Amino acid sequence: ESSGLPIVHHSKYVCDLPANHRFPMAKFPRVLHCLLQDQVITERQVWVPEIASKDLLGTVHTEDYLNNFISGRINEQEQRRTGFPWGTVLAAEVALQRGLACSTAGGTHHAFPSYGSGFCLLNDLAVAAKYLMNSSSRKRKVLIVDLDVHQGDGTAFIFKDEPSVFTFSVHCGKNFPVRKQQSDLDISVEDGLEDKEYLSTHLPWLLETFRPDLLLYDAGVDPHWEDELGRLRLTDQLYQRDLYVMKTVVKRGIPIATVIGGGYSRDINKLALRHSIVHRA
């Protein structure tokens, strides 16, 4: 209903977790609340996704894993590995129509075809890339730019033999996951990295050489110095990072869909505000 920035959100982005669970589930509705309260957006800009079908998820994940996941038969060992995709496909579709769209969730890049890992159950970036890659008469090329502090290992593994998807990850080398996968381009940075050393200059070169039809951007805020799992020293200049990525892509006429990625803090209001940086940019 609005010509403003499309924001993809669903009230069921959240589910109940045990008390004191490490994953800050409540951040998803708070991101939308921040954007509305600060009048960054209006309700008319919110797009509501449908639930992902098993067929759609099956383009990335194995049938056994999906059957066990959907029916609640994930065993205790597998549950421990996950730590316990929801609008990313719609955000990507809207981006193709409008040029730019931002989800209030997403970025579950540690999920592999046959198992979840690191708070990630289903790999929304991979599902969206596979769906959009094959939903036109000409196979689309998708560039995944992952600036979460943790390597997008599941995404890298899923697309390691897929020439139509390029995976680019900038991450803290000594952080989770211990065993890294090989992205098409990995930039591993040291603990304690600060703003001035961080901004990557690889993006323009990638856009010129790979020439994607769509870019999926994981704007994780866990490189922030206050993040509980981050180990880097970035500040609220994450705004400049996100603005740089989006300007660089949009000015070349390439559609871009963003997800919020990782961010960990006991202070949900502060965390949600940090996650809203990409929407403000």
The residue from 9, 110, 224, 275 that is catalytic is: 110
Q: Which tokens hold the place of 227? A: 């993040």
Beta bridge mates, 120: 117
Q: How far apart are CA 8 and CA 28, in angstroms?
A: 11
* Residue 110 annotated as catalytic: yes
Residue 146 parent element (H or E) = strand 142-146
Question: Residue 38 to residues 143, 264, 280: CA-CA distances in angstroms?
Answer: 32, 22, 10
Q: Which helix (H) or strand (E) holds 218?
A: strand 214-218
Rounded to whole angstroms, the Cα distance separating 232 from 212 reads 30
Catalytic residue numbers? 110
